[in-house]
């Protein structure tokens, strides 16, 4: 029997941790996998370091699309990826997450009549101001197989009329990567380098437009973080899109501003922090598994399981509420819980579901 051929797509930092378990599991099962890097995140700190630290093999195709508006970037990925699909004639396209590359490559695959799998399906914030929400919903509705990380994802898809063989509950592939690397991360000397003690500091990440594009909003958030940092120093690795927005903002003394960390150092910091304050979806998930209290500086989350079965609280962007909740969490902590199927085996379940779906589709067309 001829080996199945798959195109697996990565484009931005969150994708790299999610694709590796699926790539490895498909290759173990004999699938001929081509890894396509769209280049949506082109900064080495947001891309190559993850390949190096996670042991992801070099991409087979680099589309090199770089930055641009949502329209420019999505269109550039589609044009470049279509050439790869036309040349390779794959049996399947596998996309992960919710970045522009996810939607762009799903569109190309669907229009070419190729089986499309979306890993991390069904997540919904119901906030249409988020580009990621548009990408998630559109990708789910044009994909052949939707692999959900949690039961709420399955329920969201059912509410939108997507049920049956198109949907599988597989667990969280990013947690596969976390569990495979957490022991190595804990051996990193990053705490010593920063002069920090375990559970004696907090960690901050901010990158979403609602938090960083409005100078007044960002200044208010920095003020809240400054109040927290009088009790606990806060490490703030600054995302490239946030750097210029910080110009002119008086940074409180207790906030330690750094460049982005590699994957292992960032996991080490999440694991050792007394509290994490973030607007990142992936960080909400990782802190849940690590048992670190997390405050989400947004009005919503597409990952409610991190609240009901994890360590996350959605606190919004009001400075007084942020400071008050941070002090409660620093004093009282949070019970450590882990959602079902966040067990390090999600990649295996993904691979089995993908192969079964692709073969079933082919059989129906005979």
Mean of pLDDT values over 111-120:
99
Q: What percent of the chain has pLDDT over 70?
A: 98
**Are residues 356 and 239 part of one domain?**
no
Asked if residue 179 is part of any domain, the answer here is no
Query: According to the model, what pLDDT value does residue 42 have?
Result: 60
Region label for 34, one of left (φ > 0), alpha (ψ between -120 and 50) or beta (otherwise): beta
In this structure, the chain runs to a length of 366
| pLDDT value, residue 61 | 96
Same domain for 238 and 328: yes
Of the candidates 15, 117, 177, 68, which has an alpha carbon nearest to the alpha carbon of residue 359? 117
Q: How confident is the model at residue 46 (pLDDT cuts 50, 70, 90)?
A: low
- Residue 239 annotated in active site: no
**Is residue 75 domain-shared with residue 216, that is, in the same domain?**
no
Same domain, 212 and 109: no
pLDDT tens digits, residue range 152-175?
Answer: 999 999 999 999 999 999 999 999
Flag whether pLDDT at 44 surpasses 60. no
Say yes or no: 308 and 223 in one domain: yes
145 and 261 share a domain?
no
Separation of alpha carbons 274 and 196, rounded Å = 11
Question: Does 177 reside within a domain?
Answer: no
Average pLDDT over residues 31-46: 82
Q: Is the pTM of this model over 0.85?
A: yes
Per-residue pLDDT tens over the stretch 300-327 = 999 999 999 999 999 999 999 999 999 9
Cα atoms in the Cβ-side hemisphere of radius 13 Å centred on 193? 10
Residue 178, in any domain of the structure: no
How many beta carbons lie within 10 A of that of residue 229, not counting itself?
23
| Residues 311 and 291 sit within 8 Å (Cβ to Cβ) | yes
Asked which of 88-102, 139-153, 230-244 is least confident by mean pLDDT, the reply is 230-244
Rounded average pLDDT over 274-300:
97
Q: Residue 218: CB partners within 8 Å, gap ≥ 6?
A: 206, 211, 212, 245, 246, 249
Question: How far does the chain reach from its first CA to its final CA, in angstroms?
Answer: 15
* Count of domains for the chain: 2
Specify whether 164 is located in the same domain as 204.
Answer: no
Range of the domain at 309: 185-332
243: confidence class by pLDDT, cuts 50, 70, 90: confident
Looking at the fold, whether 221 and 325 belong to one and the same domain comes out as yes
Q: Which of these is catalytic: 41, 141, 207, 244?
A: 207
Same domain, 47 and 142: yes
Cβ distance 56 to 28 under 8 Å?
no
**Residue 181, pLDDT above cutoff 90:** yes
pLDDT at position 244 over 90: no
CATH number at residue 305: 3.40.50.2000
Is 261 found in the same domain as 195?
yes
Q: Is the pLDDT of residue 360 over 80?
A: yes
What's the confidence (pLDDT) of residue 43?
A: 62
Same domain, 346 and 255: no
16: CB partners within 8 A, 6+ apart: 10, 47, 50, 51, 54, 56, 263
What does the pLDDT look like over 102-113, one tens digit per residue? Answer: 999 999 999 999
Decide if 337 is inside a domain.
no
How far apart CA 40 and CA 47 sit, in angstroms, is 9
Strand order of the β-sheet with 32-37 is: 61-62, 32-37, 5-10, 92-96, 115-119, 145-148, 167-169
- 161 with 192, same domain: the answer is no
């Amino acid at each position: 029997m001829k080996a199945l051929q798959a195109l697996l797509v990565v484009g931005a930092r969150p994708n790299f941790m999610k694709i590796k378990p699926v790539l490895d599991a498909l290759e173990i099962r004999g699938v001929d996998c081509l890894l396509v890097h769209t280049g949506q995140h082109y900064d080495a700190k947001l891309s190559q370091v993850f390949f190096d630290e996670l042991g992801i093999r070099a991409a087979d195709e680099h589309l090199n699309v770089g930055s641009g508006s949502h329209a420019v970037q999505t269109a550039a990925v589609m044009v470049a990826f279509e050439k790869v699909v036309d040349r390779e004639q794959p049996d399947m396209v596998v996309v992960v997450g919710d970045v522009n590359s996810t939607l762009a490559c799903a569109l190309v695959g669907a229009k070419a009549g190729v089986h499309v799998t979306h890993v991390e399906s069904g997540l919904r914030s119901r906030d249409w101001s988020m580009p990621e929400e548009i990408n998630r919903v559109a990708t789910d509705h044009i994909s052949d197989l939707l692999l959900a990380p949690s039961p709420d994802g399955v329920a969201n898809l059912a509410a939108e009329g997507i049920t049956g063989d198109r949907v599988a509950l597989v667990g969280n592939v990013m947690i596969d990567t976390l569990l495979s690397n957490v022991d190595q991360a804990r051996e990193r000397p990053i705490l010593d380098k920063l002069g920090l003690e375990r559970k004696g500091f907090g960690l901050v990440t901010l990158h979403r437009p609602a938090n960083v594009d409005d100078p007044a909003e960002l200044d208010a958030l920095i003020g809240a973080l400054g109040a927290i940092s009088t009790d606990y120093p806060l490490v703030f690795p600054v995302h490239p899109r946030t750097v210029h927005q910080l110009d002119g903002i008086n940074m409180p003394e207790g906030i330690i501003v750094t460049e982005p960390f590699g994957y292992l150092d960032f996991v080490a910091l999440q694991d050792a922090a007394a509290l994490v304050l973030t607007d990142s979806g992936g960080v909400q998930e990782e802190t849940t598994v690590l048992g670190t209290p997390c405050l989400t500086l947004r009005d919503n989350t597409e990952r409610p399981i991190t609240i009901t079965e994890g360590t996350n609280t959605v606190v919004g962007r009001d400075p007084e509420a942020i400071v008050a909740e941070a002090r409660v969490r620093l004093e009282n902590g949070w019970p450590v819980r882990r959602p079902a199927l966040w067990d390090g085996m999600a990649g295996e379940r993904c691979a089995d579901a993908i192969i079964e779906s692709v073969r079933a589709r082919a059989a129906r067309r005979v």
